[in-house]
């Protein structure tokens, strides 16, 4: 019981921190999007394509979360966007304390869009609120279409779901109808956007989704 109480307190203090960080973003007119998925679903690839498509229209800043390495930050930097890598040293999610360690270095008055790549994991990232206006979950076709049923919190916390790697549909057992049905059972109105970051199919729908949020 004591453990449950401590966990509740940890989550409550994280929520408070994230909401004060969100206020800082609001003061600076920064739209923040937290991108979550299992490892390898295409978070970094989505960020790379987004920088290519929107990098000239708006000032993008990226925070990369990984247990170890700078590999994703190097990929993002190669696309020309400023980026900070957070290594969580074993933690399976990003949280407000980790954001607090990098926020002071970011020149928010000169940022329009903050993209946060969470640690690849379908469980913990959903429990730790980040300073984000929107949460987006990616499922790739290679993972199977049962993920919303197995990991519901991730999907109920999301504002959009992306199905990536649709170029692989002929080769994998992935039922798009089943996935959409399961997602809508958890959250009826949520958009489900089908893309391939490889062939770029469907990417315009994703860019339009972001541009609509940027315009608000
Ligand atoms: N076939 C295919 N591969 C993809 C697609 N998107 C990403 N990948 C590949 O999937 C792997 C993992 O992608 P990455 O963006 O690093 O995923 P992350 O771990 O979620 O950041 C890489 O080898 C990508 O090239 C896609 O739409 N189709
Ligand atoms: Mg990545």
Can you give the CATH number for the domain in which 77 is found? 3.40.50.300
Structural domain including 18 reads 2-215
Banded model confidence at residue 27, pLDDT cuts 50, 70, 90:
very high
Using the predicted structure, report yes or no on whether residue 2 has a pLDDT greater than 80: no
Is the minimum distance from the CB of 148 to ligand 1 under 6 angstroms? no
Banded model confidence at residue 41, pLDDT cuts 50, 70, 90:
very high
Question: pLDDT tens across 60-80, in order?
Answer: 999 999 999 999 999 999 999
Question: pLDDT tens across 144-178, in order?
Answer: 999 999 999 999 999 999 999 999 999 999 999 99
Q: Of 52, 69, 51, which is closest to residue 60 (Cα–Cα)?
A: 51
pTM to 2 decimal places: 0.96
Q: According to the model, what pLDDT value does residue 5 have?
A: 76
- The number of distinct structural domains making up the chain is 1
Nearest CA to ligand 1 atom 9: 42
Banded model confidence at residue 1, pLDDT cuts 50, 70, 90:
low
Q: Give the ligand 1 atom nearest the CA of 45.
A: 15
Rounded to whole angstroms, the Cα distance separating 146 from 110 reads 41
Residues in the chain: 216
Is the minimum distance from the CB of 167 to ligand 1 under 6 angstroms? yes
Q: According to the model, what pLDDT value does residue 7 have?
A: 75
């Amino acid at each position: 019981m004591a453990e449950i109480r401590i966990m509740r307190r940890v989550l409550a203090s994280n929520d408070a921190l994230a909401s004060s960080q969100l206020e800082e973003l609001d003061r600076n007119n920064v739209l923040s999007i937290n991108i979550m998925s299992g490892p390898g679903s295409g978070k970094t690839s989505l960020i790379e394509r987004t920088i290519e498509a929107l990098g000239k229209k708006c000032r993008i800043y990226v925070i990369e979360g990984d247990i170890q390495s700078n590999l994703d930050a190097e990929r993002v930097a190669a696309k020309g966007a400023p980026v900070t890598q957070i290594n969580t040293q074993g933690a399976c999610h990003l949280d407000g304390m980790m954001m607090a360690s990098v926020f002071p270095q970011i020149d928010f008055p000169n940022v329009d869009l903050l993209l946060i790549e969470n640690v690849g994991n379908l469980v913990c990232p959903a429990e730790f609120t980040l300073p984000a206006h929107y949460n987006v979950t990616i499922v790739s076709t290679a993972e199977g279409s049962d993920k919303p049923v197995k990991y519901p919190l991730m999907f109920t916390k999301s504002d959009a779901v992306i199905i990536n790697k649709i170029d692989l549909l002929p080769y994998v057992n992935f039922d798009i109808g089943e996935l959409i049905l399961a997602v809508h059972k958890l959250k009826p109105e949520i958009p489900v956007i089908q893309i391939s970051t490889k062939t770029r199919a469907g990417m315009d729908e994703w860019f339009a989704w972001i541009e609509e949020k940027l315009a608000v």
